[in-house]
Each structure stands twice: as structure tokens, then as C-alpha cells.
Amino acid sequence: MPSSIAARPISFVVLLLLVGCSEGPQKQASAPPPPTVTVASPVKRVVIDEDEYVGRFVPIDSVEVRARVSGYLDRIDFTDGQTVKQGDLLFTIDKRPFQTTLDQAKANLAQAQANLAFAEADLARGAQLVRERTITEQTFDQRTQIKRVAEASVQAQQAAVRQASLDIEFTELRAPVAGRIGDRRVSPGNLVTGGTTGNTSLLATIVSTDPIRFEFTFDEASYLRYERLARGGRDVTSREGSVVVALKLLDEQDFQHQGRLDFVDNVIDRSSGTIRGRAVFSNPDGVLTPGMFGRVRVPGSPSYNASLVPDAAIGTEQTRKYVLVVDADNVVHMKYVTLGQSFNNLRVIKSGLQDDDRVIVNGLMRARANQKVTPQNEAPPAPIPGSPQAKADPSASQPKAD
């Protein structure tokens, strides 16, 4: 009896072991499902490669305000740093000495005109007397000479009056161009040195601001590429102001300022190997200031059909770029690609990708090469501005190049 009771616990333990062994293989056979990823085919778009350069704004007109006559500065009619229009009064020099000179010149002119009138009358009387043989030919010639001298004296005094009038006009210094004026360099009461020599007094400077120019330099290789495209009938960077360029400032994210390229220099700088280009931008609000830095984007190629994928789909392996594609059996493969320009989070793929490839755009960290996945299709992105797709659908969003 006791032996049978002791055998019961042993049989119960053996039964539990058998049940555990039977459940083990079933649990081990249930493997996890393939990871779910989002795939998309490369987007075909018409794009234009663009080159970016750093440059600086320069004014179209820059004028140093200097006096043409010497005198004491009487009045200043502007506020430092204000915007002035062409013809606005800026400085006034004391006019009184010049008014005295003008009055004297007018008096000398009146005297010369009186002498001329007397000489003309005397000559007219001499013409009658010489016909009557009352005076000699020599006396008549002398009267003729006196009349000519009187005419020359009148002309000289008229020139003196015009010069004196100009001097009075030059006492008012007006803005020769429209733009923003700097600070005054001379205070009222100081003697201003004028004239046409190099020792004249600098009173202020004016720079034009609307429109404004942007100068930048690009390398010789880019210049050759532009010229060869132009000779092939695909002028992407012309000198005639027909090429639209975009610009952004240091604190801006997008190239939101539109302008036109209007000049490319005729020589390449020997020290730097670069050539100077120039674009013109409108500046109605005056934000763009001469001396300010910016980045300009110019077209670097004709339009062409390109394949684009989202930037999130591109991985990096040391110095090489790759994408993960899914084949017909839903197996992941790695493809090394050559990248081009970026357009609104879409990257141009120059080589390494087929048009019918399914690229993994979401779930890149869950996918592995030679591993099965569960792909899901993604909606196509919006068209790129300037492409035929964008023209056909004006309501589509307008992405910009990054």
C-alpha cells in the first residue's frame, strides 16, 4: 500500500514533462511576419539643374556729393540716412558773394552793350561820310574795328553773367540720383572747398537702392559649361537679361527674390580663376542694401526628364549613397545611386535606379537586404514648378528647389 502511494507523485511529474515537451515545438514554429514598409516608384519630372553662388549687393549708382564752388556752408536740408529723390535740395552754400559777382557781371554787360551801341552808330555815320569823301578809308576802318571790339566785349560779359548765374545755381547742391543718402560729412558754418580738382570737400554719399545689382563670381569650368550650352542653342545663362535667377538672404530659407542676369564679364581673373556675373533685382521696400551678402541660384542646364525619390529613402554607406528596392517576390535589395539636385524633399537620381523599381520610402530601418517585407504603396508627390504636370494642374502645390 505505501509503495503505490509513493508512485503517484512520480507519475504526475512525468505527465507534466510530457505535456511541456509536446507544447514546445508548436511555440517555436510561430515566426514573426515580414516587416511592413512603404514603397513608391521613382517620380518622373521635368527639372532644371541650378547652380548656387555667394555674392554681394552693389548699387547701380553711387555718387559722392561735392561742391562745385567754394564758400561757407549755410544750410543742410536732409536727415542723415533718409531716402532722397533726384533733384531734392541737400546743401546750401552762402549765396551773397556770388550774388555780388553776378550783379557786377550784369553791370559790365550793360556797359559793354552801351559801348557797342555807340560804336554801331559811329560806324553808320562813318559809312555816309566815307561815301562823301569827308573821312578817309583808314578812319572808317578804325571805326569798324572799334565796333567789332565792342561786340566781342559784349559776348565776354554775357559769358561772365552766365558763369556767375551758374555759380549761384551751384550754391544749391541737389541730389543727382535717387537713393539713400549717408550721413553729413560737414556741418553748417564750415568752409567748403569746391571746384573740379581733387581737393574738394566730400559732403555726403548717395547710393541707389531700387533697382539694385547683385555681383557674384563663378569658376572657369562653369563658365565653359554655360558657353558650350549657349553655342548649342540652349542659352541658360545669357548676357541679355533674359535668364531668371532666384536669391535668398542670410536669414531666409527659400529663394524668394526673383531677378534677371544682365551681365557676365569679358575676362577671367588670373589670380582666382573666376569670372564675374551680375543680376538685377527690384527693391521697392529697400530691404536689399549695398554690401549685403546673399546666395543666388542660376540655371545650370536645359530642362530634362529626371527620376526623383524622397530624401528619406536615401541611405549612406561610408561615402556611397544607396536605396533599398523591393523586387517582385517582395525581397529587399540594395542599389547604389548617384545623386543630383534636391527639389522640395525629392532628390534627383542621376544613375543606379530603374524607372520600374519600387523604392522603400518609409520603414527603412526595419528592412534588411535579402529579407522579405510587406510593401504598401505611397501616393505620388506633387509636381515640380515649371514642369508639364504643374502647368496641367495649377492647383497643385508648388515645391521649390532646396
Tell me, yes or no, whether 135 and 154 share the same domain. Answer: yes
Residue 83: closest CA among 237, 244, 210 = 210
Residue 316 lies in a domain: yes
Tell me, yes or no, whether 239 and 262 share the same domain. Answer: yes
Helices (H), 312-392: 388-392
Tell me, yes or no, whether 290 and 313 share the same domain. Answer: no
Domain boundary residue among 241, 269, 299? 299
Tell me, yes or no, whether 284 and 327 share the same domain. Answer: no
> pLDDT per position in the chain (402 positions), as tens?
444 444 454 454 444 444 454 454 444 556 678 888 888 888 888 888 888 899 999 999 999 999 999 999 999 999 999 999 999 999 999 999 999 999 999 999 999 999 989 888 888 877 777 676 777 777 877 888 888 999 999 999 999 999 999 999 999 999 999 999 999 999 999 999 988 777 889 999 999 998 999 999 999 988 888 888 777 666 666 565 578 899 999 988 888 899 998 888 889 999 999 999 999 999 988 889 999 999 998 888 777 888 888 888 888 888 889 989 998 888 989 989 988 888 777 888 888 888 888 888 888 888 888 888 888 887 665 555 544 445 444 444 444 445
Residue 25 lies in a domain: no
Residue 396 lies in a domain: no
Q: What is the CATH number of the domain that holds 345?
A: 2.40.420.20
Distance CA 354, CA 362 (A): 19
Residue 320 C-alpha cell reads as 556611397
Residue 198 lies in a domain: no
Domain with 364 in it: 36-46+304-380
Residue 142 lies in a domain: yes
Cβ partners under 8 Å of residue 132, min gap 6: none
Residue 194 lies in a domain: no
Domain boundary residue among 269, 299, 329? 299
> What b/e sequence results for 238-277 when a residue is b if at least 16 CB atoms lie within 10 Å of its CB, and e otherwise?
ebeeebebbbbeeeeeebebebbbbebeeeeeeeeebbbb
Tell me, yes or no, whether 332 and 287 share the same domain. Answer: no
Domain boundary residue among 256, 283, 299? 299
Strands 71-76 and 172-174, sheet pairing: unpaired
Residue 315 lies in a domain: yes
pTM of the predicted structure, to 2 decimals: 0.68
Contact 119, 145 (CB under 8 A): no
Residue 121: closest CA among 147, 141, 145 = 147
| Three-state SS annotation for 138-178 | HHHHHHHHHHHHHHHHHHHHHHHHHHHHHHHHHCEEECCCC
Tell me, yes or no, whether 261 and 331 share the same domain. Answer: no
| Number of structural domains found in the chain | 3
